[in-house]
Amino acid sequence: MNRPGQVLEPRSSLGARGVFCSFVTRLALHSRLIPGTEEAYEIEHARVWPELIASMHAAGISDWSIWRSGRDLFHLVDADDFEASVEYLRTDPTDQRWQQHMSQFVEGFAQNPEGVAGQSLRHVWTMSEQID
């Protein structure tokens, strides 16, 4: 089901019975750093805990990228089902430790009641989706 702020992209994988095609949700999030923590935040992300990446994969998140402009962080997330991923990570001990650790740098995620899981930014345009 395609919801506002959700871009579905086909993902294929070769299984034992042939080609399996599913859809991945790609969405954007926005968070903000606490003033003066910009450099420390980037140092923390030079190498994220491998066990956190394993937890994210187990939650159905296949990729997560972050860009920074001043104190603003823009996240691009690819997940099988972002809402289910958030629910999974809410009780994951590794993610709980990471969130507690990162709370010294991040004010929090911007909320968007219209977005997936109440957080995703509104999708406006994607070049590859434009039909002439």
**Mind listing the pLDDT tens digit for each residue in 13-65?**
444 444 444 567 899 999 999 999 999 999 999 999 999 999 999 999 999 99
Check 30, 45, 101, 123 and give the catalytic one. Answer: 45
- pTM of the predicted protein model: 0.78
- The answer to whether residue 1 scores a pLDDT higher than 60 is no
SS3 state at 72: strand
pLDDT in tens, 76-127: 999 999 999 999 999 999 999 999 999 999 999 998 888 888 888 888 888 8
State residue 6's pLDDT score.
Answer: 47
Own/partner long-range contacts of 118-122 (Cβ < 8 Å, ≥24 apart) = 119/29, 119/86, 120/5, 120/6, 120/27, 120/28, 120/29, 120/82, 121/5, 121/27, 121/28, 121/29, 121/30, 122/4, 122/5
- Told to judge if 101 belongs to the known catalytic residues of this protein, a careful annotator would answer no
The tally of CA atoms less than 13 A away on the side-chain side of residue 37 is 16
In sequence order, the 6+-apart residues with CB closer than 8 A to the CB of 120 are 5, 6, 27, 28, 29, 82, 112
